[in-house]
Chain A
Amino acid sequence: MRIIYTILIFMMSLTTITYSQISYDVYGNFIPSDRINFRLNSLESNPGNYALTKDWEFAISFNTVFARQYSTNLFFVSLGKRIKDHYLYARYTPGISKEFKFTASKSNIDDSLTVFETDLIYKEKFGFGYSYNISPVLTAGISFRFFQQEFSEEFPSFIAGTEPQVLIKEKEIVSKDFWQADFGISYSIMKNLSLNLSTNNFIIFGRNYQNVEESDFEIKKDVFDLRKQRTGVLGINFSPFEALALNSKIETNGSFSADLSTHFKFMEKEFTVGVTALHDRYQQPFIAGIVPVVNVANQFYSVTLSGIKYLSNRLTPRSVAEFKEKKISNIVNNYFVNDEVFLTVNFALSFQPEKYVKILDVEILTEIYPTLADVYVTKPFARGKIVNLSDKKITVKPFSFISEVNKEEVQSPAVELIPHDTAEVNFYTIVDEKFNLKRRKIESVDFIVKTGNGEPDDIIQKPILINDKNSWDGNVKNLKFFVERDYDFANQYAKAVLKNAYDSLVNVKPPLKNFYKVKILFDNFVKNMQYVADRRASVENVQFPSETIELKGGDCDDLSVSFAAVLESIGIQTAFVDYKPEGNNIGHVNLLVNTKLKPEQAGLITSNDKKIFIRKNTDGKDEVWIPLETTSLTNFETAWEIGAEKFYKTAIENFGLAKGTVEIIDVF
């Protein structure tokens, strides 16, 4: 507070010429907080057109003037509309109109008096505002206001040729109008502190009058015109506690206003009570007036009772000389007006439901690989940051919809958010098994958040790369999805081969059956098979088992996937051995196959214990696994020897398994 006070005093000390306070609002400094969604100030103190209005808003205000007699009028009607980050505002202001009448009398020959009247009418007829949310914390805008001044002056005239001369009244009428344009920006430094900078009378344009200097009539000169000095305004809004707000505005001309308001909730409605003190260097006393405000609001409407109470006597008649000397800068607030009360009702004419949650950003974590569909059910493909805009605890349901991939929105797990809190949400998706793209393609994905069952609260759209069905993300763990896709084919293939080998298998003792099945299947699998490297491409490709067997060729991942599918389809357990790339060595993948033999039985298949690897099964019992180099397209014995040599050297002797440079990944 001391800093604000120091700034205020400093700015006041810079001002040598003082004018009456130009920007005055019927609500004082009352600025809508995050808790109130209505616009509760106008273009006078908010030329930047800052508003929290979500969609359409209609407002109507009535004022009662406490002069010698009460009069109640329509003060303004306004309509606002938000379109994404743009906010448009228009208002008709019949109530911003003041008439000042001054009289002078002249004696006639018969000693009677003729009264001559000078009538000054000031009107602000309508205004427009436009603002743009540059970012969630920065808004900039512009306002246009149309003013009209109608002045009339009665003057004496004598009828020519009459004796004695007859005095009559004649009247000179002048109408002047002009536009005023101002700019403003609002910046939220933090959640409870924001700054506003705006102009007053920045641009004035309108009709010019000719020969006004030569005129006999003062109304044609600018002596009664609204003062249009160009000034700047700095506004500070600070909320030290949730229920307390301190707002102040300092003008470069030295005038300032300061506001204290508190809000509380009662019967599901938000109540705000505040008071603004106005200091106007032209008006007396030091605090020229106070503006009390009471507001009650819910999400559909807002009712505001506000007023201005001047702390000096406003009922004393003023002379035209005094008016000429002091002039006026503000139609509503000036030295010559009286206390007023305003009743304003705002209605949310929203055709969209109230938004409780907003998506701040979404990060795409991975491209979509259709064959890895199951990955996206358990692992998010995108992560978003959301904020609870409301003052209540909400449950947010995130959805995603990827064009061409999804037939309907896919719901991800809901998250709970406390008022005004931010959180991360994960987006998962389901890719249909039959989904197939011939070429990689960029599609759009809609990220949607809902708090109810109906309309979304917010939607963000982002591009995402969808790969074809053979694309692979290079993660060996995900090769299993290629294995399971062709299970039926692999099973038919395995059964057909084993059927032909019935004679050689029938006498094999059960513990060795798995081993011999693997041998027979491998020897058949590699018949006429060729090693064919992947095509040069920016993404890894893996063939489905049926493709590899039918094409009779593939690289290490194609062959490992294909033979794993053949074995798994008949219940023989397999694991990928992922030799990770190291230095100049490129990565490699081959297989470990479970013979189901006990370590004591290993001697039945080999006399060389380097060719086996002991692993515990799910029951904690040791089983003999054998490494198979699937790219060794000769025969089973050679593939086993080559596989074992590589595995023993890299995974065991060089501690690859412990160092993590070699990983065993069970297919299932």
Chain B
Amino acid sequence: MKKILLILFLASTLFAQEYVVEKVKGKVLVQKGTSEKWETVQAGDKLNGDALIVTEENSFVRLNKNGTRFVIDGNSALGLNYIKKISINDLLLALAMEEIRNVPKIKKSGEVKSTAVYGADVTNEDDIAVLENTLGEKKLNGAKLLAENGYKESSVIVAKETYRKYPATKKRIADRIYFADILADLGLYQEAASEYASIKKEPMTDAQRKILEKKIEQVNLKLAK
């Protein structure tokens, strides 16, 4: 497995990130770069790393990049740029970045905010229904695919970004424990402990809570060493 991973890593760095669509089943869409358009993926299409592939239930797409195949299963979404091995250091940088944006701006006295206290628009902000968006769930599935194929570090980055952009996915306790476990597997116990602590704040079943408590205990033991 390690040999295969090494080949994959070399392949990803030596050649341009161009994927060829070998096979498509069901409904598979692609969004390229920052475009708003969704296009249907067909066999023979060539896709760059900036493409986001989305598959519906019971669909899949098989991609080939320089002889290496990658299958995106149904009900998943995956940015092709994430199909790459990244270092632990880069993962730590990504987690640090997460910290940077999670720190709220310090409130300054006398801060200029023309609508902060007086003159606020009093119309109910929530009168627009939040659109049902399943992309977040699909993205988590895509992240799991990455982990299953050996791209554990990338999978954590995708999961984190998904939690931020699709806050509803934060409540998927099992998924969150899954990605926190990956952090522990990678030896990032401090980061894993922090993620477990964050999950603990969410509502969950007793069984989930029990599993979580055990995970916390295990990671704390590792940290104590």
Q: Please determine whether B112 and A668 come into contact, CB atoms closer than 8 angstroms.
A: yes
- Report Cα–Cα, A603/B123, bound state, in Å: 20
Instruction: Check A599–B165 contact: CB distance below 8 A.
Output: yes
Is A615 close to B, CB under 8 A?
Answer: yes
A596-626 CB mask vs B (1 if < 8 Å, else 0) is 0011111110111111111111111010000
Q: Is the CB of A608 within 8 A of B36?
A: yes
Chain A residue contacts of B38, Cβ below 8 A? 607
Residue ID in chain A nearest B123 by CB atoms: A510
Q: Tell me, yes or no, whether A641 is within 8 Å of chain B by CB.
A: yes
The verdict on B168 contacting chain A, using a C-beta distance below 8 Å, is yes
Chain B neighbourhood of A622, CB < 8 A? 164, 167
Is A510 a contact of B121 with CB atoms below 8 Å?
Answer: yes
For B89, the closest partner residue in chain A by CB is A655
Q: Is A658 in contact with B94, judged by CB distance below 8 angstroms?
A: yes
Asked if A511 is at the interface of the complex by the 8 Å CB criterion, the answer is yes
Contacts of B34 in A (CB 8 A): 608, 610-611, 641, 644-645, 648
Query: B1-44: which have CB < 8 Å to A?
Result: 31, 33-36, 38
Given A599-B167, A600-B130, A622-B167, residue A616 in contact with residue B102 (CB < 8 A) = yes
Beta-carbon contact of A571 and B90 below 8 Å: no
Cβ–Cβ contact B107 & A618, under 8 A: yes
Q: Which 8 A-B pairs have the closest CB atoms?
A: A571-B114, A658-B97, A658-B93, A510-B123, A616-B104, A655-B93, A618-B107, A600-B130
Whole-angstrom CA separation of A668 from B111 in the bound complex:
7
Pair B128/A511 contact, Cβ less than 8 Å: yes
Contact bitstring B86-130, A, C-beta under 8 A = 1, else 0: 000010011011001111111100011111000001011111101
B54 → chain A, closest Cβ, in Å?
10
Give the CA-CA distance A609 to B50 in the complex, in Å.
Answer: 12
Contacts of B165 in A (CB 8 A): 599, 602, 609, 612, 614
**Which residues on B sit within 8 Å (CB–CB) of A614?**
101, 164-165
Question: In which size bucket is the chain A interface?
Answer: 35 or more
* CB <8 Å contact, A655 and B90: yes
Q: Does any Cβ of A come within 8 Å of B135's Cβ? A: yes
Verify if A653 is at the interface (C-beta below 8 Å from B).
yes
Contact with B along A542-577 (1 / 0, CB 8 A): 000000000000000000000000001011010000
Q: Is A657 an interface residue (CB 8 A)?
A: yes
Q: Does B81 contact A (CB under 8 A)?
A: yes
Chain A contacts for B112, CB-based, 8 A: 568, 668
Q: A510-B127, A616-B103 provided; 16 other pairs, C-beta below 8 A? A: A571-B113, A571-B115, A599-B166, A600-B166, A603-B131, A608-B36, A610-B33, A610-B34, A614-B101, A614-B165, A615-B101, A616-B101, A616-B105, A617-B105, A618-B104, A618-B106
**For the complex, is A326 an interface residue (Cβ under 8 Å from B)?**
no
Given contacts A513-B121, A648-B34, are A658 and B100 in contact (CB under 8 A)?
yes
User: Are B166 and A509 in contact, CB atoms less than 8 angstroms apart?
Assistant: no
User: B133 near A: Cβ within 8 Å?
Assistant: yes
Chain A residue nearest in CB terms to B168: A600
CA distance A415 to B20 in the complex (A): 71
Task: Scan residues 621-668 of chain A and give those whose CB is less than 8 A from a CB of chain B.
Answer: 622, 641, 644-645, 648, 652-653, 655, 657-659, 666, 668
Interface positions, chain A 481-533, Cβ under 8 Å from B, are: 509-513
18 pairs from A and B in contact (CB 8 Å cutoff): A510-B125, A511-B125, A598-B130, A600-B167, A602-B165, A607-B38, A610-B33, A610-B34, A615-B105, A616-B101, A619-B104, A622-B164, A652-B161, A655-B90, A655-B94, A655-B97, A668-B112, A668-B113
Given contacts A512-B128, A602-B165, A607-B36, contact A620 B104 (CB under 8 A): yes
- Complex Cα distance, B64 from A196, in Å, reads 88
Nearest-neighbor residue (CB-CB) of A596 within chain B:
B125
Q: Is B167 a contact of A570 with CB atoms below 8 Å?
A: no
Q: Closest B-chain residue to A620, C-beta based?
A: B104
**Contact indicator per residue, chain B 70-94, by CB within 8 Å of chain A (1) or not (0):** 0000000000010000000010011
| CB closest residue in chain A, given B97 | A658
CB-nearest residue of chain A to B103: A616
Q: Which residues of A contact B96 (CB under 8 A)?
A: 658
| Closest CB in chain B relative to A650 CB, distance in Å | 12
**Contacts of A658 on B, CB cut-off 8 Å?**
93-94, 96-97, 100
**Cα distance A622–B161 when bound, in Å?**
13
State the CA gap A568–B111 with chains docked (Å).
12
**Residues of A contacting B102 with CB < 8 Å?**
616
Known contacts: A599-B165, A657-B97. The answer to whether A509 contacts B36 by CB under 8 A is no
Q: Which residues of A contact B166 (CB under 8 A)?
A: 599-600
CA distance A668 to B164 in the complex (A): 24
Chain B positions within 8 Å of A668 at CB level: 111-113
Which A residues are CB-close (under 8 A) to B81? 653
User: How far apart sit A603 and B81, CA to CA, in the bound complex (Å)?
Assistant: 22
Interface contact B33-A606, CB-CB below 8 Å: no
Q: Are B33 and A645 in contact (CB under 8 A)?
A: yes
- In the assembled complex, the Cα of A511 lies from the Cα of B168 at a distance in Å of 19
How far does the Cβ of B133 sit from chain A's closest Cβ, in whole Å? 5
CA distance A613 to B161 in the complex (A): 10
In the complex, chain A residues whose CB is within 8 Å of the CB of B106: 618
Q: Which residues of A contact B121 (CB under 8 A)?
A: 510, 513
A241 to B158, CA, bound (A): 70
Bound state CA distance, A607 and B54, in angstroms?
Answer: 12
Roughly how many angstroms separate A345 CA and B111 CA in the complex, as a whole number? 65
> Once the chains are docked, how many angstroms separate the CA of A15 from the CA of B197?
88
**B133 — nearest CB in chain A belongs to which residue?**
A603
Q: How far is the CB of A606 from chain B (nearest CB, A)?
A: 6
Per the bound structure, the CA–CA distance linking A614 and B111 in Å amounts to 21
